Amino acid sequence: MKTINQLQDEIISEFALLEGDTEMTLFYIMELGEKLEPMKEADKTDDNLVKGCQSKVWLTARLENDRVWFSADSNTAITKGLVSLLVRIFNGQTPDDIIHADLYFISKIGMERFIGTQRSNGFAAMVKQIKLYALALKTKQEV
């Protein structure tokens, strides 16, 4: 099992091959999105929508053997690609590791456009939701 930072570094080196070309980077992100494990249609409810995203993002989480597993989808290809990167990094991690994770990969792959600006709210909101899920599952685990 790779750590969150090992996975981030793996993503950074994959994207380095695109040499900072914005269009190629977006194309690659969309390709990754297509490989995301399909989400159950029944889970695409308003309750599972991540608030604060310009596009629709559905996200659910469950605890299995003390590890958190995510399922996600989006109605836009780029956002789906971005959320697939998050799922790849966080799937199978412990709640604690997720809560304390420092996400540095997004600016390293030239996609800082999705952080801290109007569009980013999307990305920031997804990360926040992932951490909230981890916190909730950790609380449940301790009860």
Partner 1 sequence: MNPASVTALNVDEIRKQFPVLNRKVNGKPLIYFDNAATSQKPISVIEALAEYYRNYNANIHRGIHTLAEEATKAYEHTREQARAFINAASPREIIFVRGVTEGINLVAASYGRAFLRNNDEVIISGLEHHSNIVPWQLICGQTGAKLKVIPVSESGEIDLEAFTRLLSSRTRIVAVNHASNSLGTINPIKEIIRLAHGAGAVVLIDGAQAGAHLPIDVQELDCDFYCLSSHKMYGPTGTGILYGKSHLLEKMPPYQGGGEMIKEVTFEKTTWNDLPYKFEAGTPNIADVIAFGKAMEFIRQTGRDVIEQHEQALLRYATEKVGSLPGVRLIGTAPQKVSVLSFVVDGIHPFDVGQLLDARGIAVRTGHHCTQPLMDRYGIEGTVRASFAVYNTFAEVDALTEGVRRVINFMR
Tell me the catalytic residues: 53
| Cβ nearer to partner 1, comparing 81 with 95 | 81
Q: How far is the CB of 25 from partner 1 (least distance, A)?
A: 8
Q: How far is the CB of 40 from partner 1 (least distance, A)?
A: 21
- Structure token digits, residue 103: 């996400």
Distance CA 92, CA 111 (A): 25
| Cβ nearer to partner 1, comparing 19 with 142 | 19
E-assigned strand segments in 35-122: 57-64, 67-74
Contact 125, 39 (CB under 8 A): no
| Cβ nearer to partner 1, comparing 79 with 84 | 79
| DSSP single-letter state for residue 41 | G
> Where on the chain is the footprint of partner 1 (CB under 8 A)?
21-23, 25-27, 30, 54-55, 75-79
